[in-house]
Structure 1
Amino acid sequence: MKLIHGRFFMSFLYVNESKCKKDGACAMACPMGLLQVEPGQSIPKAIPGAETLCLQCGHCLCACPHAALSLTTLKMEDCVPLKKELHVGLEQAAQLLKSRRSIRRYKSEPLERCDIEALLETARYAPTGKNTQPLSWLVVYDAALVHTLAAHVADWMKDMLRQQHPMAAWLQMDTLVKTWDAGADLLLRHAPHLIVAHAPKANPMAPQSATIALTTFEIAAAAAGLGACWAGFFQLAAGMWEPLQKALNLPEGHISHGALMLGRPAVKYYRIPTRKQPDVIWR
């Protein structure tokens, strides 16, 4: 550990001694227990091997009220201060979450790219196992290409019907295909955009990470007055239908782990429908 210009440097961690109040908040926040401190007596010290074990989650930085420490890989000045005036109470959050609808009718005009980028900016903060952040994104912005992908889903369903696959009857694919052939898209709902979360197939963190990130994206879209809906038929086809996989042209080794239709809602909602009571076991 070295003292340089009033800051103690410990490999990847450095502490500003003039700011540090020795309160131990950083050590308490670290999910891996990598910092040691005697409250009121010493500045935080990293345990041996901490640099290798660190998740780069930033908990230690964000829990320090005095902005007294940084990592070599994450600077205090890069962490955005919380704004108290933007705090969301439970009542507001509950209304947003309960009033969120799966949007299946969209206005035809495209969104501004900056609107989609803002949603991705929020979704990238979704939690991931061990902060691995394994996801990449494919934004199918062109509505014509979304329609082409929907056609691949229809072709997959036709093949499933030919095989008499059990899933075909369960998902009523015969009705969906007839509707598609008649010119109505119940597969991707004539959505102007499609958002695909993809990651390496071998990454065990990817499926859950994609579900959490896409859910975050969907809630952010609702907060922005936009509409999204999980593209379940698309996701099933993307895992089974090679022509669709080729059309997606994802990076080598990557697969789709989930997708959302996205656009501006064509229908406005004024109420929250009821849902069944939670089935809970307390122990």
Structure 2
Amino acid sequence: MELIKLQKSKCKKCGICIEVCPSIVLGMGEEGPEELEGTNCIGCGQCVAVCPNKAIDNVRTPLLRQQELKQFPVIDENKAEMFLRSRRSIRCYKNIPVEKEKLMKLINIAHFAPTASNSQNISYVIVTDKKILKKATEVVINWMEDKIDTPTMHWSFPKHIKDYREQGIDKILRNAPTLVLATAPKGFKNGRENTIFSFSYMELFATTLGLGSCFAGLFEMCVFDKYEPLMELFNISEDSVITGAVMVGYPKYKYKRVVDRNPLEVSYV
């Protein structure tokens, strides 16, 4: 399959496209860059995106599908630091639904996150049905109860079970109005890694929409234990697996301060 198309009249043979190619797919020929034999293009699009003269095209990442970047959007250093440090894991949400438009904006940003070897392969399930969310919490609590006095019991399980059974306190999904699930093909080795990248993008972008988010860690523990009742609840296909879960909603409270971290430890080698 011929991947590369070159407009010879525009090509200056600068070689930038060859230098940035992570898979060494390109080499310099007599008329400009050309595809080398025995190589595997990962479709990252860097060759097309970096060309200053729009001379190169790649059928896997067409020039027509790339958005023009007039100037790289640089954020002020101090604002960027405060933006990143101000994001918090939100566990208290307002009892109002998140608009579908905003949810789609979140997912759209998530799928632009970097992935291992541009493998991508992450899909998403947006859960907003209150009955399903409530049932999911119940299922996870049942799973926790099955784990009591077993080697895989987490120290927090008894407390979560007691709070839920006696007071109706949901520490699993925190009464969040939305749960975003990430899925990947079964056997895909980079599923969890790519999911964390995508959810990190999504969580940072959420703050720009006035939303808060938090990884649903207890829910994920149940998922990764392959608890069948939970998988059946979301109707996940047999050839896919859940690779992560994040709660999303409007924060009930505003944080007034930026929390510090443990002392930074750095070494140079």
Calculate the TM-score normalised by the size of structure 2.
0.93
Which residue in 2 is equivalent to 1:242?
Answer: 228
Contact map agreement 2:11 2:55 (CA 8 A) in 1: yes
Q: How far is the alpha carbon of 1:85 from its aligned partner? A: 7.2
Q: How far is the alpha carbon of 1:42 from its aligned partner? A: 4.2
Q: How far is the alpha carbon of 1:141 from its aligned partner? A: 1.7
Contact map agreement 1:103 1:227 (CA 8 A) in 2: yes
**Selected match of 2:123 from 124, 130, 136:** 136
SS at match of 1:197: strand
Q: How far is the alpha carbon of 1:11 from its aligned partner? A: 2.1
Which residue in 1 is equivalent to 2:19?
Answer: 28
Distance 1:37 1:224 in 2: 45
Which residue in 2 is equivalent to 1:260?
Answer: 246
Q: How far is the alpha carbon of 1:59 from its aligned partner? A: 0.6
1:93 aligns with 2:80: yes
Which residue in 1 is equivalent to 2:91?
Answer: 104
**Selected match of 2:114 from 120, 127, 132:** 127
Corresponding pairs, count:
267
Distance 2:79 2:11 in 1: 36
Moved more, 178-187 or 87-96: 87-96
Which residue in 1 is equivalent to 2:2?
Answer: 11
Moved more, 185-194 or 129-138: 129-138
Distance 2:71 2:231 in 1: 45
Unpaired runs of at least 5, structure 1: 1-9
Which residue in 2 is equivalent to 1:195?
Answer: 180
1:281 aligns with 2:258: no
Q: C-alpha offsets along residues 35-65 of structure 1, whole Å, 9 cap, x if unaligned?
A: 1227xx7421221234xx0011001011112
Which residue in 2 is equivalent to 1:251?
Answer: 237
SS at match of 2:104: helix
State how 1:23-172 maps to structure 2 within 5 Å. 23-37=14-28, 42-50=31-39, 53-84=40-71, 86-161=73-148, 164-168=149-153, 170-172=154-156
Which residue in 2 is equivalent to 1:4?
Answer: none
**Selected match of 1:220 from 170, 182, 205:** 205
Kindly provide the amino acid, as one letter, of the partner of residue 137 in structure 2.
Answer: A
Moved more, 184-193 or 208-217: 208-217
Contact map agreement 2:132 2:233 (CA 8 A) in 1: no
Q: How far is the alpha carbon of 1:201 from its aligned partner? A: 3.0
SS at match of 1:87: coil
1:177 aligns with 2:161: yes
Kindly provide the amino acid, as one letter, of the partner of residue 7 in structure 2.
Answer: N
Distance 1:282 1:265 in 2: 40
Q: How far is the alpha carbon of 1:92 from its aligned partner? A: 2.6
Calculate the TM-score normalised by the size of structure 1.
0.89
Contact map agreement 1:143 1:191 (CA 8 A) in 2: no
Q: C-alpha offsets along residues 12-36 of structure 1, whole Å, 9 cap, x if unaligned?
A: 2111122222211111111111212
The CA RMSD measured in Å over matched residues stands at 1.8
Q: How far is the alpha carbon of 1:198 from its aligned partner? A: 1.1
